[in-house]
Amino acid sequence: MEGAVGRIQAVYQSMLKEHEVSTNAVLDVGITTKNGKKECQFCGNTDPLEFAKGPCLNCAGGECWYCLKCIGMGKVKACSMVIATPEEEQPFPKREEELAHYKHTLSAKQEQLSLECLKVVKQTGFREHLLWAVTGSGKTEMIFASIEWMLQQGKRVAIAAPRIDVCVELAPRLKEAFPTVEQNVLHSQSEEGYKRVPLTIATTHQMLRFYHAFDLVVIDETDSFPYRDNELLIRAVHRAVKEEGCLLYLTATPSQTLERRIKRKELSVSLLPERYHKKPLIVPTMSFIGDLDKKLKKKKVPKPVCQFIEEHVKVGKRFLLFVPRITLLNPIEVALRRQFPNAKFETVSSKESYRQERIAQMRAGELEFLLTTTILERGVTFPGVDVCVINAHEEEFSREVLVQIAGRVGRTAECPTGEVVYFHNGKTKAMVQAVRAIEDLNQQALLGRKHG
């Protein structure tokens, strides 16, 4: 094996020289073994169950180990080489003009946090900073100044989000905010290919493709699945940022890992506990519905859920109805079509190929409500909606997810109030913690206004 690896490494070195690839390129064996423990040098996988052995033309024994964890990005084998080339040295041209266009004037508190982030971004050396702001507080707008400064310096910026839907939502907003800046949108469903531009919007999985490429990487919704506590993606993001670059995290619900890093002073933080319109976050109420499955077998939804829908449809108040699993969408849809034959609604999930069109229908006011999985827990704004969660006691609804779902309500100054209901078959710790977290943020905002 060592002989084969040596020969392949020599071939790769020759190829790099022939094609004038940067001398700073880093080469390593695809899978290394130390003390009997394998490690994929592309994704960092060390789980022995995530490696497999298969036929290989390069190896004398006819078989070779390869990594299962990142196989979707290309097969990394023990006899192959991983080549990482840093970002090109030449920066983009510097620009002196103002690049950021704000639709709304930042509040005093938003401006304060925006300047805090900008101060961090302007520092030298590798640095990390967390912008912790409640849902609907305008986190994206608060980082415009940091993005603008980087772009004015001729540097390169990436905005990475865990989910495609968030990228789809972010791209037009950033184009509107930075109309003269060329941008590239990268995710598994995007039609445009990669190009080196000043501003890149991508899923966190796409960061696996980069090595020391960006001066600033912003991780939007850092607590969201699949990025949250995912060592593969965390490694990818750190590898994508330059050695002297900056990582800026955005979230309304930091994970326990981030909170521990804050307490240990490993991570600086800017906190905003209130929305820009200064109205309090909507505190959820809880409603017992019993065994959902028993009702669905009769093609009915529980009475409290039925009453919620009736009241909203009657007055024309739109809403989102969240369920914990894709498998519940069909039986609940069947029951609702039967009980509310004239209601205008559609379903949305990660497996729904028309979900963007249905989201657009909801945004245009063509639908009365959406029946959705947690895919719409964040990153999408529908002004004036209420929210209800069916089976809020199930494990898919963590504290963070429930807080994010509640954050869909009351986001705009025109519609700052609303209703959030957790329908359940027994309260859970996550439900109680979510309500308490929202109440605590409201209290912090109130104290801040009194002392401000």
pLDDT tens string 165-218: 888 889 999 999 999 999 999 998 888 888 899 999 999 889 988 889 999 999
- Is-contact 45 70, C-beta < 8 A? yes
Q: Cα 17 vs. chain centroid, distance in angstroms?
A: 39
CB within 8 Å of 324: residues ≥ 6 apart: 373, 374, 390, 391, 394, 395, 396, 397
- Is-contact 181 199, C-beta < 8 A? yes
Mean pLDDT across the stretch 264-286?
Answer: 91
Ranked by mean pLDDT, the top range of 88-102, 108-122, 188-202 is 108-122
- Global pTM value: 0.76
The pLDDT of residue 224 is 75
Share the mean pLDDT of the chain: 88
Mean pLDDT across the stretch 289-300?
Answer: 94
Provide φ and ψ at 204, rounded to 5°: -65, -25
- Is-contact 54 118, C-beta < 8 A? no
For 84-96, the DSSP string reads E-PPPSPPPPP--
- Is-contact 149 121, C-beta < 8 A? yes
Mean pLDDT across the stretch 96-108?
Answer: 89
Q: Check whether 452 has a pLDDT greater than 70.
A: no
Read off the tokens for 388.
Answer: 């209800």
Q: Check whether 19 has a pLDDT greater than 50.
A: no
Residue showing tokens 């977290």: 437
CA distance 80 to 70: 14
The pLDDT of residue 16 is 47
Provide the residue type at 250 as one letter: L
Q: What torsion, rounded to 10 degrees, do the Cα atoms 406, 407, 412, 417 define? A: 30
Provide the residue type at 16 as one letter: L
439's enclosing H/E stretch is: helix 429-451
Confidence of residue 275 (pLDDT cuts 50, 70, 90): confident
CB within 8 Å of 257: residues ≥ 6 apart: 229
CB atoms within 10 A of CB 131: 27
The pLDDT of residue 388 is 97
Q: Cα 193 vs. chain centroid, distance in angstroms?
A: 21
Domains and CATH numbers, the chain: 2-84 (no CATH), 108-272 (3.40.50.300), 285-451 (3.40.50.300)
Q: Check residue 77 and report its DSSP letter.
A: B
Read off the tokens for 242.
Answer: 């330059």
Read off the tokens for 345.
Answer: 């609604």
What pLDDT, in 10s, does the model give residues 46-81? 899 999 988 888 776 688 899 998 887 778 888 887
Question: 3-class DSSP state for residue 435?
Answer: helix
User: What percentage of the chain reaches a pLDDT higher than 70?
Assistant: 92
